[in-house]
Structure 1
Amino acid sequence: MAERKNRKLAKPERRAQLIETAKEILRECGADALTLGHLAERAGVSKPIAYEHFGTREGLLIALSQEIEDRHTAKLSSALAEAPKRLDAVAGIISSVYIDCAVESGEEWQAISGALRGNAEMITTQQQQADDYVALIQAALAPFSTVPDDDLRLRCTGIAGAAEAIGRELIRGRTDEPAASANLAALIVDSTQK
């Protein structure tokens, strides 16, 4: 295994390897244990390589956050492209993809977010991620909406907040996946109508 880790990788492959290793550390040891030194050691590379890819621990955490968000966006975009052209179907897809992603990476996301609370770069990154998500779901819901565009954008902002809150409830074990998904879908449907 050490041979595979130490072999020369192209920069994108090395970054992907480091991201995966960082996620393993995060799951196994928590955010406090995730340092560039620990990452380098665990990945079988020198510290300068980890620093070259992420610059700082905060840079690594932000990269992890972006990787989670990119994965979620790709899943949602792909599912929406195949969606039947009905509000209930689109709402169900938005909801189920969000809940699936919360199950898949919710604890990681909570740890990353908590570790970077108050970090200006993370605040900027999270705002951009939220804006992108709102724009994606607004575009998906617009054909079915009876409210003006500005109101729909605000409602989609609320949907994003509700999705995050429902995801936290699920991660904490206060609801199950079917209930979380169904209730989020119901909120989405209700939000598109006057």
Structure 2
Amino acid sequence: MLDVAMTIVRADGADGLTLGTLAAKAGVSRPIAYDHFGTRAGLLLALSQRLEDRYVQALRDALRATPRDLHAIADVMSRAYFNCQTDLGPEAPAISAALKGSEAMAAQQRAMIDDYVDIMHRALQPFSPLGPDALKLTCIGLLGAAEAIAREKHDGRVSAEAAMDAFSSLIAASTGAPPR
């Protein structure tokens, strides 16, 4: 049903997705859709979680395949961050916007940030003289910087390549390692 729901969002936007519409297009009864997701918000949260899980797994896989080189790791993390919306498609922002203000969505986004901070922390720890708490705070700060850079990219003020290069440089510099 999630594949069908994603198709509906892609074609009609998040506003076009209801449990009734999903049931009709998935060829199931409305009670099945309601039993499975409970509410429209539950369906949207399930879609959002699916996208986030896919992104986190792709990042973990990419990091596992990356040589133990700080700059290579920084490049992978930066590219993953900025390619996230491209890789996940236009559905992700539509789903997020539809859940704006939802406590459940805020909790899910917080968990995603925590996951990303944990991934960054683990990947950067071998290269950093910072203690665990200081490195964690540094990773949180890096994500804030990435959001600001992403806004610049979204507004057309910088290219995707410049955004990725800047974030990669920030990641590497945050460890105290020399520049390339």
Identify the residue that residue 25 of structure 1 maps to in structure 2: 8
**2-side partners of 1:43 and 1:56: how far apart?**
16
* Aligned twin of 2:75: 92
Q: 1:106 and 1:145, CA in 2 relative to 1: closer, same or farther beyond 3 A? A: farther
Per-residue CA deviation, residues 45-87 of structure 1 (Å, 9 max, x unaligned), is 2112211221111111111111111111111111111111111
Partner in structure 1 of residue 49 of structure 2: 66
Name 1:82's counterpart in structure 2: 65
CA contact (8 A) 2:153 2:163 kept: yes
Q: Report deviation, 1:167.
A: 4.0
Q: How does 1:1-194 map to 2 (within 5 A)?
A: 18-105=1-88, 107-171=90-154, 173-193=156-176
Identity %: 48
Residue 166 of structure 1 deviates from its aligned partner by: 3.7
Cα distance in structure 1, aligned partners of 2:6 and 2:151:
19
Q: Which runs of 4+ in 1 moved over 6 A?
A: none
Q: TM-score, normalised by structure 2?
A: 0.88
8 Å contact 2:10–2:91 — kept in the other structure? yes
Q: Distance in 1 between matches of 2:94 and 2:103?
A: 17
Where does structure 2 lack aligned partners over 5 or more consecutive residues?
Answer: none
59-68 or 155-164, larger mean C-alpha shift:
155-164
| C-alpha RMSD of the superposition | 1.9
Aligned mates of 1:170, 1:39 — CA distance in 2: 34
Structure 1 residue 21: Cα displacement: 1.5
What TM-score, normalized to structure 1? 0.82
Please, which moves more after superposition, 81-90 or 120-129? 120-129
Whichever residue aligns with residue 64 of structure 1, its letter is: L
Aligned residues: 177
Whole-angstrom distance in 1 between the partners of 2:89 and 2:134 = 29
Offset of 1:143 from its aligned partner? 0.6
